[in-house]
Structure 1
């Protein structure tokens, strides 16, 4: 057979070339969605680790304490963990524990420079007519902010408290607005204040009673939350709350005695040594006929601080004996253990994808350590975690080191405590990623396109 003519060979080559181009175009078009997705938005990614389900050692039941209270709570402030709870969310009259909010706000105003501790306060009519626990201020008496603050914190002086509230806000009711606003900001769910002192409405000077109905109420949990803010936002609180006695005026025959019998320093005072508690340096007592006897206490041992609240005990002494039970329960049974170190890698999540960068991915670590309250002498075993990543389209170079890419929530359950402990920290990039040049990104796109193309061809067969 002879060779085909040059015309036939040329026509056959053209047909073959056209077919090849058409096939290539079809395959390229089929790869375009994948290429577009590589630069588009992806859904938020959630990963859960459930490999470990072991719970920690069991702690004694709260009922074993046989607390004689209307309500009580015990928290560790740095983790926020509730270690003990008895009717803790029930709103009750807090009596002079109300003054913790006044103390917080006055100290905060000094801290922020609104006025100074040595500023002089002129006592007004409202303060001079305020009854109950007091230092017998007269209208136009003058004392420094610090002198009145000590009288309030140590002796629970109602008249000194009102004088400070009026000095800080112009009137007691304007100050009360700040108290209620701050309670909401702190997440205190039941707290409602009608005055700066905790006195019942009927015991306030009639002229200065609020027009709105109601009384001051605050749950044990809200008191603990307030105590938490005091010790964390004003770590020098004990400079005042731990004062055992204070002579307010030179002419006074007797000094003000701190109503808090549990102060550690009282271990050498004959009348109080039976109540003195190691490490205790605050916070505030309270008593009215309606409230009974209340106490928000805080103590620190071996680097761990606890905050306790008892409300509605039948006597002054009982509020301290019940507080001892509550604090002992915490210190004897719990300790803080670090479960995850800061800047830790996450199992199963070494890196996340980065778009338009010199690198296509970046390492991920936690931004802070995670600690839990654990049964004393045990390890923080049985911790599980859940990750939540940001949408992928937000991770576009350039990206700085430490950029947030999501969150991780750790959960730890102690047998004997109703609610599991949870702590959420951020996931951040461990390195920086510079933006890639247009040439690098172009060739990367070509590479990805042909990778998808040949994967598509391979899958046809």
Structure 2
């Protein structure tokens, strides 16, 4: 492995070196003739600005793989995308940046916000929600709520995530936003911006076309809900990563919304791995698949966001604008097979790991001059199946002096390390940045320690100055 350091900018002139030498001798004379005061000692301190180091490393490939193009799949979709969940790496993309009607896949944003409110303690799963007239008036998929009905957040959430119930979705949206679906939609659009979703716009909590919303509740601007496949995958990834227990609900095959209901709510997702034993669905059941959301309107066609995990790798697929409910699952299988057949995840560095060649980072005004650092998170990359990562480089950026000034607690971020993985058979480089954190604490140095350290530094500079003159 080879380490590359940036060159120090500028060279000291002989005149500067002579001046520094004279200053050093004057200081030594002062030490011999006068009393030392603490304030003078504290004035001398080492400085170190933000710096950047680079390192490159290579790993031997265990084999080479030729990855077929996405076009070779012959997908019958308006758009599609496939990403790996932990890295966000795009593995397949077909027209994935075009904004299209997502239908009920937009409910994933409602699901995310509800789950987040529970996680933050703003609401509870066993809170009781009273159904409004607006919620009860929703059309399409529903559990036939009546105005004044009372149900828990969890029951309504299950009806939304499993049965795609529009009435349950609006009831949850209004509960969170103080009785107003329009106010909840503002939350949806704000969250889309936070996630970096470039095309997404939500008109309602359900994904229904504006014409199908109850009279008097439509948005004034008349803008329909749209989301690209790429944005849909970003949203799905946030669900999977931020709420890893998502599948406790999304993998439910069926359930009775009310104990008195004659028929259960059946999951619209035919590809659930657990459906392998269900006669009507076993032809579509996909090993490892446990979510996420179907969608259908006349404008959107048949859509599906699926996620499956195998051998420690979780993939997220989105297909939009397929011709039938069967085709959205058939096309999804092609997309997921493409990912699992040709890619795998490899770890470059683990969480809380030391970086080879970068054991420490300088500390300012500490009892020690350096502190050991480790990564705060693991770094994974997606590689062609059967190979190891090659051509991995990293760049290190130290934090500024303020952040590196003692006292320093263990776990404090003192810089970042950015890994870049290049592979000719993959269209984009994979770039991941994690923090470098102190692995142990460093106390603030006493004034006496700092003073004598500064004297040592001056004599070191003096010696180097004299050496460089000859």
TM-score normalized with structure 2 length: 0.84
- Alignment of 1:342 onto 2:351: yes
Q: CA deviation at 1:454?
A: 4.2
Please list the CA deviations of residues 84-142 of structure 1 after superposition, one character each: whole Å capped at 9, or x if unmatched: 22122211100011111122222333333444334333322222222122233332333
Matches within 5 A, 1:227-376: 227-376=236-385
Please list the CA deviations of residues 301-325 of structure 1 after superposition, one character each: whole Å capped at 9, or x if unmatched: 2232211111111111110001001
Please list the CA deviations of residues 252-309 of structure 1 after superposition, one character each: whole Å capped at 9, or x if unmatched: 4432222111111211122211111111111110011110110011112223221111
Contact kept, 8 Å, 2:57 with 2:392, in 1: the verdict is no
Separation in 2 of the partners of 1:175 and 1:268?
39
Matches within 5 A, 1:190-205: 190-205=199-214
Match of 2:175 among 167, 185, 191: 167
Contact kept, 8 Å, 2:371 with 2:442, in 1: the verdict is yes
- Report what 2:52 is aligned to: 46
1:246–1:45 CA distance, 2 compared to 1 (3 A): same
Contact kept, 8 Å, 1:59 with 1:415, in 2: the verdict is no
Separation in 1 of the partners of 2:260 and 2:353?
62
Q: CA deviation at 1:37?
A: 12
Bigger mean CA deviation after superposition, 351-360 or 377-386: 351-360
- Report what 2:142 is aligned to: 134
Unaligned runs of 5+ in 1: 1-23
SS of residue paired to 1:91: coil
Separation in 2 of the partners of 1:343 and 1:135?
48
TM-score normalized with structure 1 length: 0.86
Please list the CA deviations of residues 171-199 of structure 1 after superposition, one character each: whole Å capped at 9, or x if unmatched: 21111112112222222221111111111
- Report what 1:147 is aligned to: 155
Bigger mean CA deviation after superposition, 272-281 or 445-454: 445-454
Q: CA RMSD in A?
A: 2.9
- Report what 2:456 is aligned to: 447
Separation in 1 of the partners of 2:302 and 2:134?
26
Bigger mean CA deviation after superposition, 353-362 or 307-316: 353-362
- Report what 1:76 is aligned to: 84
Please list the CA deviations of residues 188-220 of structure 1 after superposition, one character each: whole Å capped at 9, or x if unmatched: 221111111111111111221111221001111
- Report what 1:99 is aligned to: 107
SS of residue paired to 1:207: coil
Matches within 5 A, 1:182-197: 182-197=191-206
- Report what 2:22 is aligned to: 28
1:32–1:97 CA distance, 2 compared to 1 (3 A): farther
Contact kept, 8 Å, 2:20 with 2:462, in 1: the verdict is no
Contact kept, 8 Å, 1:72 with 1:88, in 2: the verdict is yes
Bigger mean CA deviation after superposition, 314-323 or 416-425: 416-425
- Report what 1:62 is aligned to: 70
Separation in 2 of the partners of 1:414 and 1:459?
45
Give the number of equivalent residue pairs.
437
Match of 2:428 among 419, 423, 434: 419
1:138–1:412 CA distance, 2 compared to 1 (3 A): same
Separation in 2 of the partners of 1:52 and 1:343?
21
Contact kept, 8 Å, 1:53 with 1:384, in 2: the verdict is no
Separation in 2 of the partners of 1:428 and 1:286?
43
Separation in 1 of the partners of 2:455 and 2:154?
73
Q: CA deviation at 1:54?
A: 8.4
**Larger helix proportion, structure 1 or 2?**
1
Contact kept, 8 Å, 1:32 with 1:449, in 2: the verdict is no
1:54–1:211 CA distance, 2 compared to 1 (3 A): farther
Q: CA deviation at 1:41?
A: 4.0
Contact kept, 8 Å, 1:60 with 1:416, in 2: the verdict is no
- Report what 1:18 is aligned to: none
1:143–1:431 CA distance, 2 compared to 1 (3 A): closer
1:372–1:460 CA distance, 2 compared to 1 (3 A): closer
Contact kept, 8 Å, 1:57 with 1:414, in 2: the verdict is no
